[in-house]
């Protein structure tokens, strides 16, 4: 059997060991220490943000954003159905109700359907968007930049401004993706809405084992999120707390990994871009299969590569057959996530005109994309695909 080619794995050949050793030598391994501040500063600098707050996971970052935005049990939050479930779960942590929306051809939130939902299914009362069906206020919107692509933020921000929605960008998959044209030229995914969240889970473009980072448009709000993430201490000596906080701070060990990983982010993106182009070229002559493009006018981070499989009667290939064939050849691939509005805990919530997400759900297979993937391995994946 040929060597296993995983879908997406960490690449730790830079200063990781050096910085982690420094953290251990300094004996700062917990939620204090210089690496945490350094990682926050490096991230803020990279993103062109004023500041950033490190936390335990992307999920924690999303939870902190919703708490800071003041989303509570009375409220509803608009979310995409095509996403990893961690973009939606924090909505229920704060007791709010999700409303599920569709994606467009970028796999990200469809701005047309977002607008149609707000216009037709809701009404504005004293600047607050009220859902006509449930009579609850819709406070916020979670936008996911799926697979390293960029959602149509120009359109989405306009709709959000019109209807007074707080925009939380789930940029957990899109660290490094930025606009190269238009109104937001130069702006990174995560720095356009009110809050932006990144993840350093093991399969993300850079990893700290587990971890996350939060940025916010408003400095006071970002400070408040940090306060909540460190047990809401109002007096560090007397242990006085005026609010209920969380143990969400990143550790110095994680941050040491993060500092080293961030140094290599642009190199990782360059490799991923190269491999993407090789795949695209090689796949261009395969009938019924193509590589999904990224939105134009952006520099994507090329995190995931999505094979689009036309499920027509003429094509011999189905997504499931392909997955099995790759698996037999020791190549790991994955379909898109089960749609969230169809999952057991979320079936009872409102959904609006979901069509495209179901269409793409049937037709996409993600193929190996690690930043340490060799050209020979790309060729092996392609050969396996072509061997129909």
Ligand X SMILES: *Cc1c(COP(=O)(O)O)cnc(C)c1O
Task: Please give the residue ranges that form the binding site for ligand X (CB under 6 A).
Answer: 57-59, 83-84, 86-87, 144, 170, 172-173, 199, 201, 212
Q: Which is nearer to ligand X, 137 or 258 (CB)?
A: 258
Quote the least distance from Cβ 146 to ligand X, whole Å. 7
Beta carbons of 197 and 43 less than 8 angstroms apart: no
Identity of the residue, 57 or 65, whose beta carbon is nearer to ligand X in the bound complex: 57
Rounded CA separation 60/20 (Å): 23
Tell the smallest beta-carbon distance from residue 247 to ligand X (Å): 15
Read off the DSSP letter of residue 235. Answer: B
Nearer to ligand X, 144 or 307 (CB): 144
- The string of DSSP letters for 152-209 reads -HHHHHHHHHHHT-EEEEE-TT-TT-EESSSTTTTPBTTSSSSEEEEE--TTSSS--S
- What value, to the nearest 5°, has the Cα angle with vertex 200 and ends 71 and 363? 85
Contact 368, 329 (CB under 8 A): no
Task: Give 133's contacts (C-beta < 8 A, 6+ positions apart).
Answer: 121, 350
CB of 202 to ligand X, least distance (A): 9
Angle at 164 between CA 159 and CA 166, to 5 degrees: 90
Nearer to ligand X, 56 or 351 (CB): 56
Work out how close the CB of 65 gets to ligand X at its nearest, in angstroms, rounded to a whole number: 11
Minimum CB distance to ligand X smaller for 283 or for 340:
340
d(CA 102, CA 352): 7
Shortest distance, position 130 Cβ to ligand X, whole Å:
28
Q: Shortest gap between Cβ of 62 and ligand X (angstroms)? A: 6
User: Would you say 194 or 204 has its CB closer to ligand X?
Assistant: 204
Residue nearest to ligand X (CB): 58
Give the DSSP letter string of 42-56: HHHHHHT-S--EEES
Instruction: State how far the Cα of 107 lies from the Cα of 151, in Å rounded to an integer.
Output: 8
For the bound state, the minimum distance from the C-beta of residue 343 to ligand X, rounded and expressed in Å, comes to: 14
Q: Which one, 57 or 371, has the nearer CB to ligand X?
A: 57
Query: Considering only CA atoms, which of 247, 212, 216, 211 is closest in space to residue 231?
Result: 247
Closer to ligand X at the Cβ: 149 or 275? 149
Q: Do the Cβ atoms of 142 and 91 come closer than 8 Å? A: yes
Tell the smallest beta-carbon distance from residue 337 to ligand X (Å). 9
Q: Within a 10 A sphere around the Cβ of 98, how many other Cβ atoms?
A: 24
């Amino acid at each position: 059997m040929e060597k296993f080619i995983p879908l997406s794995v960490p690449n730790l050949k830079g200063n990781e060991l050096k910085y982690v050793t420094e953290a251990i030598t300094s004996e700062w391994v917990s939620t204090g220490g210089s690496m945490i501040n350094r990682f926050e500063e490096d991230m803020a600098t990279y993103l062109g943000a004023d500041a950033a707050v490190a936390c335990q996971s992307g999920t924690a970052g999303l939870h902190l954003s919703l708490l800071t935005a003041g989303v509570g049990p009375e409220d509803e939050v608009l979310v995409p159905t095509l996403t990893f479930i961690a973009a939606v779960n924090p909505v229920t942590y704060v007791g709010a109700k999700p409303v599920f929306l569709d994606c467009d051809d970028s796999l990200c939130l469809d701005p047309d359907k977002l607008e149609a939902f707000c216009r037709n299914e809701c009404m504005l009362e004293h600047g607050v968007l009220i859902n006509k069906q449930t009579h609850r206020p819709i406070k916020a919107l979670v936008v996911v930049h799926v697979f390293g692509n960029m959602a149509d933020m120009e359109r989405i921000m306009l709709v959000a401004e019109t209807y007074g929605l707080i925009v939380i960008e789930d940029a957990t998959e899109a660290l490094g993706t930025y606009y190269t044209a238009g109104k937001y030229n130069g702006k990174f995914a995560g720095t356009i809405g009110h809050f932006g969240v990144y993840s350093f889970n093991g399969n993300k473009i850079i990893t700290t084992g587990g971890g996350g980072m939060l940025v916010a448009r408003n400095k006071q709000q970002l400070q408040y999120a940090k306060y909540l993430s460190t047990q809401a201490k109002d007096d560090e000596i007397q242990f006085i707390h005026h609010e209920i906080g969380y143990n969400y701070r990143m550790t110095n060990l994680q941050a040491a990994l993060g500092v080293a990983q961030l140094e290599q982010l642009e190199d990782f993106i360059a490799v991923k871009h190269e491999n993407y182009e090789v795949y695209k070229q090689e796949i261009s002559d395969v009938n019924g299969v193509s590589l999904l493009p990224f939105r134009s006018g952006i520099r994507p981070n090329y995190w995931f590569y999505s094979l689009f499989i036309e499920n027509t009667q003429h094509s011999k290939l189905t997504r499931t057959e392909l997955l099995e064939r790759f698996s037999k050849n020791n190549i790991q691939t994955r379909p898109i996530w089960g749609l969230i509005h169809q999952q057991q805990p979320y079936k009872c919530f409102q959904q609006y005109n979901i069509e495209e997400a179901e269409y793409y759900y049937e037709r996409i297979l993600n193929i190996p994309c690690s930043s340490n993937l060799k050209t020979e391995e790309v060729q092996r994946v392609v050969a396996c695909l072509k061997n129909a």
